[in-house]
């Protein structure tokens, strides 16, 4: 891609790629990264899915292309910060170290060009299920993977009918009372942590629900995922944040929010 076609931003925030799952959108992520340059890229956890890889090793050549692309960006001067989550928790054994030019930290604070500070963290540390009932988290992971496989059959039928993509898992998160309650508690916990940390906002991942709002008095930003949604957060040079929905970028304007 020519330099004139590359979009330059101050920072990019990406999470929940889940390398190791067979249903992820790694090709779209590679395209996205080739189309964007940033001074700093934050990999906000669950980039690698250690749970899945331990059960069934799946590492196609496309994954190596992604790793090589990130390393080449780091070598060219992009600061890359990796903040592990619960699916790549083994990386937490290497906090404070570097892989190539990629830095591993548990949490960090990002300061925007307008001087506002944001706690950056994966967020599993504030998930009551992950913290208190890890076995239940594994069951939830199995159920999510089952939903993704079911999506495949559903959307095959929808394509035959000339209809667009529909996500069973996203529908459940929006409609099932228990899931909505868990997401609400997650947002409240991250917001409280941001307030106690004395920052203006929080940028996290973990729940695969891209969003930006200030309903709880703190600017809450969730990066979403690259399993289904293909979403990322960008900070522009004026300090504004943008929620990028990569698969819909050509048909819908991106959602913006003042920081």
Give 50-108 pLDDT, tens digit per residue.
Answer: 988 998 999 999 999 999 999 999 999 999 999 999 999 999 999 999 998 999 999 99
Rounded to whole angstroms, how far apart are CA atoms 84 and 117?
Answer: 20
Which of 190, 35, 194, 45 shows the shortest CA–CA distance to 110? 194
- Per-domain boundaries in the chain: 3-257
Question: 192: which 2 tokens?
Answer: 């409280």
CB of 28 closer than 8 Å to CB of 59: no
Question: 90: which 2 tokens?
Answer: 């083994």
Full-model pTM: 0.81
Sequence-separated (6 or more) residues with CB below 8 Å from residue 53? 19, 20, 59
Strand 7-14 and strand 201-204: the pairing is unpaired
The band of 240, judged by pLDDT with boundaries at 50, 70 and 90, is very high
Which of 254, 21, 221 shows the shortest CA–CA distance to 123? 221
The band of 140, judged by pLDDT with boundaries at 50, 70 and 90, is low
* Mean pLDDT, the chain, whole residue set: 84
Which of 41, 34, 55 shows the shortest CA–CA distance to 10? 41
User: Does domain 3-257 sit in CATH 3.60.21.10?
Assistant: yes
């Amino acid at each position: 891609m020519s330099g004139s076609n590359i979009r330059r931003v101050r920072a990019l925030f990406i999470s929940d790629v889940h390398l190791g799952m067979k249903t992820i959108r790694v090709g779209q992520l590679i395209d996205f990264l080739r189309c964007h340059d940033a001074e700093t890229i934050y990999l906000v956890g669950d980039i690698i899915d250690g749970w899945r890889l331990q059960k069934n090793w799946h590492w196609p050549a496309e994954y190596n292309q992604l790793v090589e692309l990130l390393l080449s960006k780091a070598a060219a001067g992009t600061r890359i910060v990796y903040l592990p989550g619960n699916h790549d928790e083994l990386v937490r054994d290497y906090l404070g170290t570097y892989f190539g030019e990629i830095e591993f930290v548990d949490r960090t604070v990002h300061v925007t060009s307008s001087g506002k500070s944001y706690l950056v963290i994966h967020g599993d540390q504030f998930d009551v299920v992950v913290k208190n009932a890890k076995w239940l988290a594994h069951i939830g992971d199995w159920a999510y993977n089952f939903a993704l496989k079911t999506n495949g059959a559903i959307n095959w039928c929808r394509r035959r009918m000339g209809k667009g993509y529909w996500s069973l898992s996203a529908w459940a998160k929006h409609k099932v009372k228990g899931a909505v309650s868990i997401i609400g508690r997650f947002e409240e916990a991250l917001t409280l942590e941001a307030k106690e940390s004395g920052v203006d906002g929080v940028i996290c991942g973990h729940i695969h629900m891209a969003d930006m709002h200030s309903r709880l008095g703190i600017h809450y930003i969730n990066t979403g995922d690259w399993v289904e949604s293909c979403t990322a957060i960008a900070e522009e040079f004026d300090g504004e944040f943008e929620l990028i929905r990569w698969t819909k970028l050509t048909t819908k304007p991106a959602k913006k929010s003042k920081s």
